[in-house]
Amino acid sequence: MNEDRDFLGTEPLGKLLRKLAIPTVVAQIINMLYNLVDRMYIGHIPEEGHLALTGLGVCMPIIMIVSAFAALVSNGGAPRASIFMGKGDSESAEKTLGNSFFLQIIVSIVLTIVLLIWNRDFLMAFGASENTIEYAVDYMNIYAIGTIFVQLTLGMNAFITAQGFAKIGMYSVLIGAVTNIVLDPIFIFAFNMGVKGAALATIISQALSCIWVVSFLLGKKTFLKIKPKYFKLQANIIIPSLTLGLATFIMQASESIIFVAFNSSLLKYGGDIAVGAMTILTSVMQFAMLPLQGLGQGAQPIISYNYGAKNKERVLGGFKLLLKYSLIYSLSLWAFVMIFPKLFASMFTNNIELINYTKTALRIYLAVLFIFGIQIACQMTFTSLGNAKESIMVAITRKFVLLIPFIYIMPRVFTSNKAFAVYAAEPVADILAVTFTVLLFRKQFKKALDKI
């Protein structure tokens, strides 16, 4: 197997990163459309679209938590599988895959039960109002049934990409996204199902993606196969994987906590329109986050494999290329958002009042988006090297130490428009978080290279 995989250790870095990153970035862009198309269609439902969009926005914290549990298992397991492969230890790599697959099935069952029983309580706590709660419940009742498809698609696709099968990983997302884009208008408008139609389209799409992903990992082309003999959970396999994946879990799960903090504050200071704008703001943030994560996922097999193979020069070169492309993307997107904020707002609603409110909020919320490439490149490299502690530290600092307190501090300091002051918590926290991340990364990356 090492001979088949040696291209990660020998192929020119620029060519290799493009080969792996372009499909993963495309996959994340498709995934972004997958996530956004529901909101775009729902926001344009005649008369009630703006309220339905706000109701769907209240569902976002729960959807983020479901995705975060997939990342908890896979974003730790996949890099460890790559490192094992770099060391030539294929058995440990397959044990990691088998343990991760079985654990995600268990997690999916638990999440489905919890969501079906308590979703209304969660949604009310997460910022739903009397005007929006029924839209939110209608969506979540159906979405919860498809939890297992979301878990296995997101989680197992990471193991496909980690082996260097970037195009297969892209097709996994493409299948679901195309299906969702086709089914959404049919269910929402033609069948007049509204938000229920959007949820049904989503779980059908995820089910098709899930079938594709699992079929590949059971087939002949994969290097690592799902094997029932490796389903028995082993502490020495699964605990290090969960520890490493904890940073990504914290990043994604904390988004839901932050979303709740934002929604509760915005509902207090700006009402339903401010919460509706936040739904659009977080959607636009995905234009930044998902492609940047795609770049990181493309670089992960390169960095992890060569770290396992003790190739210092290629580890350093892989990081530099990741940082360069991440900065180019984040700077370009920042400029586009600052110049055309109304264009982004109009994608999600035809309500003039909400569009005008959102275009101002966008410029505040994403004011320092241009430096976000640094944050993602450093954090993804920490994970690729197996540095769980540092990854967790960076994630906790940005979200819990900085952003959540600022959501409540800013409107007390800038009282002229408290709702817009809440949005300003994001750029203030980002500046401090990136500074901390860079200082920590310089120190720990040097240590990792010295170990090689």
- Residue 223 located in a structural domain: yes
Q: Which segments of 361-428 are extended strands (E)?
A: none
Maximal C-alpha separation, the chain: 64
Work out the average pLDDT over 149-173: 88
Distances from the Cα of 84 to the Cα of 6, 54, 239, angstroms: 13, 45, 15
In a domain, 142, yes or no: yes
Query: What six digits make up the tokens of 47?
Result: 């008369």
Counting residues of the chain whose pLDDT is more than 90, the rounded percentage is 50
Q: 69 pLDDT exceeds 90? A: yes
Q: What is the pLDDT of residues 266-285, one digit of tens each?
A: 989 998 899 889 988 988 88
- pLDDT value, residue 3: 45
Query: Would you say residue 4 has pLDDT above 70?
Result: no
Residue 193 lies in a domain: yes
pLDDT of residue 246: 86
**Cα–Cα distance list, 179 to 44, 185, 200, 318, 330 (Å):** 20, 11, 11, 35, 29
Structure tokens given for 352: 């003039």
Higher pLDDT, 130 or 152: 152
Range with the poorest average pLDDT among 6-10, 376-380, 438-442 = 6-10
What does the pLDDT read at residue 35? 66
Region for 93 from its dihedrals, namely left if φ exceeds 0, alpha if ψ lies in -120 to 50, beta otherwise: alpha
Does any domain span residue 143? yes
Cα separation values, 125 from 21, 54, 58, 129, 261, Å: 39, 14, 9, 10, 10
Looking at per-residue pLDDT, the higher value among 308 and 197 belongs to 197
**Mean pLDDT for the stretch of residues 237-257:** 84
Burial class (CB in 10 A: 0-12, 13-18, 19+), 20: buried
- pLDDT range class, residue 215, cuts 50, 70, 90: very high
Would you say residue 2 has pLDDT above 50? no
The structure's pTM equals 0.70
Number of Cβ atoms within 10 Å of the Cβ of 167: 18
Distance of CA 404 to the CA centre of its chain: 19
Rg (CA), the chain: 21
Chain centroid offset of residue 450 CA: 31
Specify if 8 maps to a domain.
Answer: no
How far apart CA 402 and CA 410 sit, in angstroms, is 12
Residue 1 maps to a domain: no
Q: In terms of Cα–Cα distance, which of 364, 121, 360 is closest to 260?
A: 121
Q: Which of 34-38, 109-113, 150-154, 219-223 has the lowest mean pLDDT?
A: 34-38
Give yes or no for residue 7 having a pLDDT over 80. no
Per-residue pLDDT band for 391 (boundaries 50, 70, 90) equals: confident
Taking residues 432-451, report their average pLDDT.
Answer: 92
In a domain, 6, yes or no: no
Q: Indicate if the pLDDT at residue 159 is higher than 90.
A: yes
Give pLDDT, residue 392.
79
The rounded distance, in Å, linking the Cα atoms of 150 and 20 is 23
In this prediction, residue 34 carries a pLDDT of: 67
Distances (CA, A) of 47 to 50, 78, 132, 198, 270: 8, 45, 14, 17, 21
More confident: 75 or 269: 269
Question: Does residue 5 sit within a domain?
Answer: no
- Domain holding 298, by residue range, is 13-451
Of 20-24, 411-415, 446-450, the one with minimum mean pLDDT is 20-24
Work out how many domains the chain is built from and give that number. 1
Q: Give residue 225's region: left, alpha or beta (phi > 0; psi -120 to 50).
A: beta
| Residues 242 and 76: beta-carbon distance below 8 Å | yes
